[in-house]
Structure 1
Amino acid sequence: MDFASVMAAEISKKRKPEPASSKSSAEPAPKKYMKRSEIEAQRRREYEEEQKRLERERREKTERKRQEEEEERNRREATKAKQKQLAEEKRRRKEEEEEAKRLEKEGPLTKGGSDGSDEANSSEAMTEAEAIEKLRSMGEPACLFAETHSQKVRRLKRLLAALEIKNREATPPLSEEEMILNPDDIPNDKDKVYRQLAAWFALVLSEWEIALESRPAALKDSFQGKAAANSMIQAKTYMVPLFRHFKQKDLHEDIYTKVCEIVVEAQARRYVRANDVYLRLSIGNAAWPIGVTMVGIHERSAREKLHEKGLAAHIMSDEVTRKFLQSIKRCLSFCQTRWPPEDPLQLMG
């Protein structure tokens, strides 16, 4: 045995063997280099987590907004119901006071009182039996002390007029669900549609006023705040003739149809389409007369398109029409901020 082998044997005896468990439990060293596929997979995981987080926040925001709108709707309905109840009580008290004052003022009717020619004509048109029957059907006394036939007819007419005013004023306001226009009702049930139009525009103007009142005092006193308030007041003033048309149900047929389309699209929060209908209503798409239209004895080509039906620019009809059409556009601009659409592409520019 040589010296080298002896030394190698001794060195191997002195060397301590490493335990196997330490090698297995040791953590793998971090890689110095990474593959492109690993980097791409890590980036994809981070992107998916970020998208999940954004989607979760979006759902929470939508749910929170829906709850706020529901609470606001319930609050408005409760306020309207309370206002309606108070108005009904106030009106009833006022009618009772007026009736009491009238009875005190008239007192017992004299027997020999003379009536005018109009009372005589009205009494001749209605017999005493008819007057008594109508008075009893209304729950009123058939005859007062020393009351003549003409006085009875006059009392009946006063009661009928008061009842008509009461029925007209007692028309309950429409709720937000009842204001939704049905396109099938536009040509068929115009009375209902006119009521819905008047109620919806009144709601928009009231919401506009509430939104302006809820601003901070500093913003109200600023130039922009005063301009916004003046714009709302001007729109409300300009829309008085439109509400009069709604009440009298005599709006122009073309304007009536287009206004209904605007309201239908606005209620569905499709403001871009509503704006397109407004442009067709206000500006129109008829050919505009440019240059000389009549030269000689022959008509120019396509001259008949200048006066096609349904394509006229109604904003040029008269000043009143221009003003309330402009106010409708302002109402649309407010609606898209008060009731924003779910699709941002439906916002007007």
Structure 2
Amino acid sequence: MGEIEESANDTELKTKILLQARSYMKFLIQTWEDVVAKRTVDMDQLSTKANAVLKETKASLIPLLVLLRKGELSETVFPLLMGIFYHLQKKNFRAANDSYIKLSIGNAPWPIGVTAVGIHARSAREKITGENSEANIMKDDMTRSWLVAIKRLITFAEGHWSE
């Protein structure tokens, strides 16, 4: 009986966190739109490019917003993405960038052309190729596009709120 209540509380808490994450992303986009709107008064070439980047970022974030609304974010991505938003809200941009790198690249080793490593090739090869560890999440184009959009939000927030 206690496990069911804890599970319901966990689900409710996760739903609240996902809602807060969606709201914060929308807040960041709205703030960015306001900054670009103020800049486009003189309509120079730089503001036109900024407007195009903003539009592309908004389009790239739609699949992530849908995943957040449905609660279908994977268990490995959820804490890292929420960590990014937490650090952004605290204006700790270095930690947000570190969380982004951990999310996008992961901890899997990247082999640099080393294939034969000596006598104990089998165990060493597993260490090099990272067969037992999960690689980065940039496996499909949709995920890759919203990851780039998250990095753009981090960069915008850092430029807008850094002191």
The question of a shared fold, defined as TM-score above 0.5 by the shorter chain, is answered with yes
- Relative distance call for 1:229 and 1:279 in structure 2 (3 A) is same
Distance 1:188 1:325 in 2: 26
Matches of 1:188 and 1:282, distance apart in 2: 27
Q: Which runs of 5+ in 2 are unaligned?
A: 1-8
Please say if residues 293 and 303 of structure 1, whose CA atoms lie closer than 8 Å, have aligned partners that are also in contact.
no
CA contact (8 A) 1:238 1:323 kept: yes
**Matched residue, 1:334:** 156
Letter in 2 for 1:205: I
TM, length-normalised to structure 1: 0.40
State whether residues 209 and 232 of structure 1, in contact with CA within 8 Å, keep that contact through their aligned partners in structure 2.
yes
- 2:57 equivalent in structure 1: 235
2:26 equivalent among 180, 191, 202:
202
Counterparts of 1:263 and 1:250, CA distance in 2: 18
1:289, CA displacement in angstroms?
2.6
Tell me: higher relative CO, structure 1 or 2? Use CA pairs within 8 A at least 6 residues apart.
Answer: 2
Task: Indicate how the Cα distance of structure 1 residues 216 and 223 shifts in structure 2: closer, same or farther if over 3 A, else same.
Answer: closer
The count of corresponding residues between Structure 1 and Structure 2 is: 152
Deviation at 1:195, TM superposition (A): 0.4
Paired position in structure 2 for 1:314: 137
Q: Is the 8 A contact 2:115 2:125 kept in 1?
A: no
Asked if the contact 1:262–1:278 (Cα under 8 Å) also holds between the matched residues in 2, the reply is yes
Residue 269 and residue 277 in structure 1: after superposition, are their counterparts in 2 closer, same or farther (change >3 A)?
same
TM-score, scaled to structure 2: 0.82
Segment drifting more, 283-292 vs 257-266:
283-292
Paired residue secondary structure (1:231): helix
% of aligned pairs identical? 27
| Equivalent runs, 1:203-282 vs 2, <5 Å | 203-218=27-42, 220=43, 222-282=44-104
Paired amino acid for 1:209: E
Deviation at 1:322, TM superposition (A): 0.7
CA distance in 1, matches of 2:147, 2:93: 16
Give the SS at the match of 1:291.
coil
1:301 aligns with 2:124: yes
The separation in 2 between residues aligned to 1:281 and 1:202, in whole angstroms, is 21
CA distance, structure 1, for counterparts of residue 158 and residue 111 of structure 2: 35
- Counterpart of 1:271, as a letter, is F
- Matches of 1:216 and 1:259, distance apart in 2: 31
The Cα of 1:326 is off from its aligned counterpart by 0.6
**What is the distance in 1 between the residues matched to 2:18 and 2:33?**
23
Change (3 A) 1:193 1:233: same
CA distance in 2, matches of 1:278, 1:250: 19
**Alignment check: 8 A CA contact 1:293 1:300 kept:** no
Structure 1 consecutive aligned stretches of length 4 or more whose deviation exceeds 6 Å:
185-188
CA distance in 1 between partners of 2:132 and 2:154 (Å): 28
> How many Å apart are 1:256 and its aligned residue?
1.1
Per-residue deviation, 1:189: 1.5
Q: Is the 8 A contact 1:294 1:300 kept in 2?
A: no
Q: Could you report, residue by residue, the CA deviation over 1:112-145 in whole angstroms, capped at 9, with x for unpaired residues? A: xxxxxxxxxxxxxxxxxxxxxxxxxxxxxxxxxx
Contact 2:84 2:99 in 1 (8 A): yes
SS of the residue aligned with 1:299? Answer: helix
Which secondary structure state, in structure 2, belongs to the residue aligned with residue 251 of structure 1?
Answer: coil
Task: Report the AA paired with residue 254 of structure 1.
Answer: T
Q: Offset of 1:272 from its aligned partner?
A: 0.7
1:285–1:270 distance in 2 versus 1, CA, 3 Å? same
Q: Following TM superposition, by how much is the alpha carbon of 1:293 offset from its aligned partner in structure 2, in angstroms?
A: 4.0
Structure with the greater alpha carbon radius of gyration: 1
Matched, 1:323 2:145: yes
Deviation, structure 1 residue 285: 2.8
